[in-house]
């Protein structure tokens, strides 16, 4: 273990005093320890103690001209065999999980190409909080290693998980980590699967006016359609999203056109043609009031009004039979019964290549919810996916469409 170099980030927790001993223990085993002390960490232990114990300068500032001249922060993050965080506070873990780089410690964690071993230390409620647990799960997924926390009496007077592991336990974890592969490979850059392609997506409900203050609408949230537009843009496509009234934000890197009615949606879609792929995820109102009133409808002696409904244009069917038909036309089928049968009928009736069918009965929570269970219905059969977050449904759908485009169409 001689000559192994540890970069130790000391966060702001009462357990920072144990890190002084940790430095000694690591050095006893022949390792060199370079310390980064966070602003909060410096409230608990001094740079002088850490410098004396490590025998090296302690780094504290992201923008330190003197330190930067001797060793830049990127070099600092790479010139180690292992990065260790002890104590790893809830805040440091949150920053690392979200990729922040607003101080020296978080910047090093983002810039390093080495394994990171964290020894969490915090109050048990902070440790057990779903936010911390989510962050830890994310970091584990990213390859971060953890030692502890242990159970026991805490400095704050409570009892439970959150105590930083003892220095010798941490040393054992360091040795185990060093025995494994300490370099994290860069995630392979995936070539953007829809690069150079134009995609049009419709999303959300439409609002069909009855009079200036009332309208016919439905419960679509736009979450699934917007997620598809985002996933297509992330896959390198140039995306136009035509959205009905929704409260979800516009996806980034997507040209979003806001409309209200089905007729406006059709007009915006036709103006955006030509495209390679059309995805109709909007819940377009099938009917509108034939003669929407210019003035507010008043209650009167004649009783409730009769709304004369007329059928809206079918955007999906129009695009699928268009002179400038995209190579792939994908529709959705929102059903409350006989999902597959209805979807197959829609596939044929609207002449599209693929229908993403889902059950929108109230019990499923799909409308407005964050998860979706879909069946992909095409002439080649039915593929049922497990219940997935809408963003994941979107990514998988985009991957499927990219594969179909690669095969020269559906």
Q: What does DSSP say about strands 145-146 and 116-120: parallel, antiparallel, or unpaired?
A: parallel
Stretch near ligand CTP under the rule CB under 6 A, chosen from 109-117, 207-215, 311-319, 368-376: 311-319
Whether residue 38 contacts residue 103, with contact meaning beta carbons closer than 8 Å, is answered with yes
List 156, 172, 195, 403, catalytic entry: 156
| Residue 359 makes contact with ligand CTP by CB under 6 A | no
**What residue has token string 């602003």?**
39
Among 73, 346, 375, 390, binds ligand CTP (CB under 6 A): 346
- Our CB check for ligand CTP shows the closer of 116 and 333 to be 333
| Residue 333 makes contact with ligand CTP by CB under 6 A | yes
Q: How far is the CB of 232 from ligand CTP (least distance, A)?
A: 16
- Our CB check for ligand CTP shows the closer of 112 and 358 to be 358
| Residue 347 makes contact with ligand CTP by CB under 6 A | no
Residue 351 CA to residue 330 CA, distance in Å, equals 10
Q: From residue 171 to residue 210, what is the string marking binding to ligand CTP with x (rule CB under 6 A)? A: -------------------------------x--------
Among 50, 76, 193, 315, binds ligand CTP (CB under 6 A): 315
Q: How far is the CB of 286 from ligand CTP (least distance, A)?
A: 5
Would you tell me how many other CB atoms lie within 10 Å of the CB of residue 243? 27
Q: How far is the CB of 366 from ligand CTP (least distance, A)?
A: 12
Whether residue 376 contacts residue 331, with contact meaning beta carbons closer than 8 Å, is answered with no
- Our CB check for ligand CTP shows the closer of 173 and 354 to be 354
Residues 259-298 within binding reach of ligand CTP (CB under 6 A)? 262, 280, 282-284, 286
- Our CB check for ligand CTP shows the closer of 81 and 314 to be 314
156 in active site: yes
List interacting residues with ligand CTP (CB under 6 A): 202, 262, 280, 282-284, 286, 312, 314-316, 331-334, 346
Active centre residues (catalytic) = 156
């Amino acid at each position: 273990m001689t000559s192994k170099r540890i970069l130790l980030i000391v966060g702001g927790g009462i357990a920072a005093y144990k890190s002084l001993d940790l430095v000694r223990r690591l050095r006893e085993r022949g390792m060199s320890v370079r310390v980064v002390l966070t602003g909060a960490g410096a409230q608990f232990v001094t740079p002088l103690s850490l410098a004396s114990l490590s025998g090296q300068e302690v780094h504290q500032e992201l923008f330190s001209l003197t330190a930067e001249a001797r060793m830049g922060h990127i070099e600092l993050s790479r010139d180690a065999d292992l990065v260790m965080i002890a104590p790893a506070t809830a805040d440091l873990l949150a920053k690392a999980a979200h990729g922040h780089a607003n101080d020296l410690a978080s910047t090093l964690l983002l810039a390093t190409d080495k394994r990171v071993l964290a020894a969490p230390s915090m109050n048990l409620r902070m440790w057990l909080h779903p936010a911390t647990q989510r962050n830890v799960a994310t970091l584990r997924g990213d390859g971060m290693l953890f030692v502890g926390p242990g159970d026991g009496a805490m400095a704050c007077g409570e009892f439970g998980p959150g105590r930083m592991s003892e220095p010798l336990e941490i040393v054992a974890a360091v040795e185990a980590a060093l025995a494994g592969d300490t370099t994290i490979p860069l995630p392979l850059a995936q070539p953007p699967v829809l690069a150079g392609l134009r995609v049009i997506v419709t999303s959300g409900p439409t609002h069909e006016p009855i009079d200036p203050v009332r309208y016919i609408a439905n419960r679509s949230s736009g979450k699934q359609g917007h997620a598809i537009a985002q996933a297509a843009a992330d896959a390198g496509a140039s995306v136009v999203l035509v959205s009905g009234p929704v409260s979800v934000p516009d996806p980034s890197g997507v040209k979003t056109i806001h409309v209200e009615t089905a007729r406006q949606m059709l007009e915006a879609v036709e103006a955006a043609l030509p495209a390679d792929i059309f995805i109709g995820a909007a819940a377009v109102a099938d009917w509108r009031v034939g003669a929407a009133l210019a003035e507010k409808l008043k209650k009167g002696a004649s009783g409730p009004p009769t709304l004369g409904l007329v059928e809206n244009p079918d955007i999906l069917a129009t695009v699928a039979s268009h002179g400038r038909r995209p190579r792939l036309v994908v529709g959705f089928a929102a059903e409350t019964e006989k999902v597959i049968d209805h979807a197959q009928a829609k596939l044929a009736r609207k002449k599209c290549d693929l229908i993403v069918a889902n059950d929108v009965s109230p019990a499923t929570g799909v409308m407005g919810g964050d998860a979706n269970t879909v069946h992909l219905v095409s002439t080649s059969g039915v593929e049922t996916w497990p219940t997935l977050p809408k963003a994941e449904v979107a990514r998988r759908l985009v991957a499927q469409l990219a594969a179909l485009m690669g095969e020269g169409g559906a």
